[in-house]
Structure 1
């Protein structure tokens, strides 16, 4: 009997996980750490890029949870984090577990990375800043790795039924719960009401800050109270106590805001007024980022000053003309060019009589009028 040739499809829809990871590392990792590492392996095998915010959205974690997981695996020397000169995370190198750790000493940041994050503003939460010191060299774990455990000062108590009744009986609680139910779109469960109590009792959030917290999470499509609680704890750890501080921090993670700021030639965080413009374009006008960037490009070519006002005039005009996609803009441009075309002058003979006003007479009508008299 002849030998058989064994083959398979070129595209293998699977991810290989090293046995050493399962045997030695998986048992001690928490939920977020496991999800992040396995997802990085999956994206590396597929030769695809991702970002911190994309990973957070996919697994219903916060961006800070993802950063903590990355630093955890860096501490265990399963991966290396690459930074640019501005201390921004630019790539991740996943190590081969069969290769001795000593072989990675002195690895340059030019190695191929399995993970390319979206650009972030320098000093963004979750990335190195001045108080963290310079970025760690690839392959060398940080001197004082960040702990993945929640601070004990923010531990959520197990509230009793009496405590819950007392909270609901407060004069200002009814309005706060009504706001929460309006954002979530359903009556709150006892567990969710306890989470609201936790925000006021332990995190010491004001009603205005809780209002903005719920609005921020719902705008991101997150109505799960576990996710909302994670965001709240992150804000508390960062010392956020007002909606203004929360808005400033939220801008660091919003890819759309960062992209629009860059499109207008701005490198820093937006001011309150600039953020109002961006939110108007995204939410009130309902424009996609590519349409807004088209307006930004035209603005940069036209002026160096008052760029937000100029871009707003373009976008408000497009809103009035029912622009929904870039092809609509091309139609408006074509119509504008046609209207601006110079009219060709009528051919006239070069004589002195052309200096007088020219009249058009209907000689048949004139003849009838003369005959009737």
Structure 2
């Protein structure tokens, strides 16, 4: 997960909100915008880093909500957002409010901050888009306002057999009986967003698995999926998985600082879903890959993990056992009599032959 650098023109060792902000800006901002701006001040004054997902989790928003609030404050010249060449957000610059009152020009961000290139792992794709595209999507989202369903409409919706079963399933996920407002949210997702029963089932399960049972959050995720043209659980899984935190953890472990390509995402999905490896095991494979080669890293890691899977390795202790078995077999076959069997030689014999792996990989490419 990418960490965002937050900095400003002047620094004080306290979390204080400017009177200028209270007098001039607070009255026009909504709840999310206020919370996020004050939280940024808190994090900056404490010299703490954060990410879009950290802020979203803190206030039970989606990362798109956070990005929209940041753009609001940028438009009002209270902060500036910095991007790398791929339009990934890499920094937030909190501006001195006294400059705004005095009419001073907006200062340029320090070169060191502009040079930082850290990936942001969103659960939506609006973060890395040009501003014009984000604004178009914002206007699109405003058209997804929930209608004021009447009691008769709600009663008819609940009386359908398929709907009744769906509401029962949702209640099992949430762990309580749904309130009328929560039923209206499900009605809205089914009616106006045209989600199928299976897609609503997957949507609620997806949110609950991430610790989000708030229906405002569920509705926001549903809207973002609708905007992205998602119509079935399979598409939703691919869309959500692309921005899963574990994906970016693996990308970082392999020395990658960009969003995963489709092929890279397929590799990661294969390791985590099909081979069902623990993240700790995948990290070890990534560490050995990085130590052994600078190229074809996904192919190398895939070779290691497949060999472990075939050997029944699924947890960290299993790796040590497999390494010991590999070492014993290789040492008995290849260790010259003139070479002493000391600890150093044992360690060297333990490593993977990446040169041989690379030759094998090149044969099949």
TM-score past 0.5 threshold = yes
- Assess, with a 3 A threshold, how the Cα gap between structure 1 residues 112 and 152 changes in structure 2: closer, same or farther: closer
* 1:119 matched residue in structure 2: 119
- Assess, with a 3 A threshold, how the Cα gap between structure 1 residues 61 and 186 changes in structure 2: closer, same or farther: same
Work out whether 1:250 is the aligned partner of 2:240: yes
Instruction: Give the TM-score taking structure 2 as reference length.
Output: 0.72
Shift of residue 58, structure 1, vs aligned partner? 1.2
* 2:89 matched residue in structure 1: 89
CA distance in 2, matches of 1:34, 1:161: 35
Give a deviation string over 1:249-269, Cα, whole Å, max 9, x none: 324532221232454577534
CA distance in 1, matches of 2:303, 2:70: 41
Give a deviation string over 1:121-148, Cα, whole Å, max 9, x none: 7996122436838xxxxxxxxxx96797
Matches within 5 A, 1:301-316: 301=292, 304=296, 306-307=299-300, 309-313=302-306, 316=309
Structure in which a larger fraction of residues adopt helix: 2
CA distance in 1, matches of 2:312, 2:223: 39
* 1:219 matched residue in structure 2: 209
Shift of residue 211, structure 1, vs aligned partner? 1.9
- Assess, with a 3 A threshold, how the Cα gap between structure 1 residues 17 and 108 changes in structure 2: closer, same or farther: closer
* 2:26 matched residue in structure 1: 26
CA distance in 2, matches of 1:145, 1:93: 21
Shift of residue 216, structure 1, vs aligned partner? 1.6
- SS of structure 1 residue aligned to 2:82: strand
Shift of residue 236, structure 1, vs aligned partner? 2.3
Shift of residue 66, structure 1, vs aligned partner? 0.3
CA distance in 2, matches of 1:88, 1:155: 29
Work out whether 1:176 is the aligned partner of 2:166: yes
- Assess, with a 3 A threshold, how the Cα gap between structure 1 residues 308 and 339 changes in structure 2: closer, same or farther: closer
- Farther-moved stretch of structure 1 (241-250 vs 223-232): 241-250
Of 213, 235, 238, which aligns to 2:225? Answer: 235
Greater CA radius of gyration, 1 or 2?
1
Give a deviation string over 1:33-85, Cα, whole Å, max 9, x none: 11111111111011111000111011110000000000000000000101111
Shift of residue 150, structure 1, vs aligned partner? 7.9
* 2:350 matched residue in structure 1: none
Native 8 Å contact 2:195 2:231 kept in 1? yes
Instruction: Give the TM-score taking structure 1 as reference length.
Output: 0.71
Matches within 5 A, 1:1-373: 14-100=14-100, 103-105=104-106, 107-108=108-109, 110=111, 112=113, 119-120=119-120, 125-129=125-129, 132=132, 151-264=141-254, 268-270=260-262, 273-274=266-267, 276-280=269-273, 284-285=276-277, 287-288=278-279, 290-299=280-289, 301=292, 304=296, 306-307=299-300, 309-313=302-306, 316=309, 320=313, 322-323=315-316, 329=319, 333=323, 336-337=326-327, 340-342=330-332
- Assess, with a 3 A threshold, how the Cα gap between structure 1 residues 157 and 123 changes in structure 2: closer, same or farther: closer
Native 8 Å contact 1:252 1:269 kept in 2? no
Native 8 Å contact 1:68 1:146 kept in 2? no
Give a deviation string over 1:223-281, Cα, whole Å, max 9, x none: 12121111112222333333344334324532221232454577534457435324428
CA distance in 1, matches of 2:251, 2:58: 25
CA distance in 2, matches of 1:306, 1:111: 34
Shift of residue 203, structure 1, vs aligned partner? 1.2
CA distance in 1, matches of 2:141, 2:173: 28
- SS of structure 1 residue aligned to 2:316: coil
- SS of structure 2 residue aligned to 1:92: strand
- SS of structure 2 residue aligned to 1:82: strand
Native 8 Å contact 2:123 2:244 kept in 1? no
Shift of residue 160, structure 1, vs aligned partner? 2.6
Structure showing greater relative contact order (alpha-carbon pairs closer than 8 Å, 6 or more residues apart): 2
Native 8 Å contact 2:254 2:287 kept in 1? yes
CA distance in 1, matches of 2:145, 2:202: 22
Shift of residue 317, structure 1, vs aligned partner? 6.6
Q: CA RMSD in A?
A: 3.7
- Farther-moved stretch of structure 1 (329-338 vs 78-87): 329-338
Q: Which runs of 5+ in 1 are unaligned?
A: 1-11, 134-143, 346-373
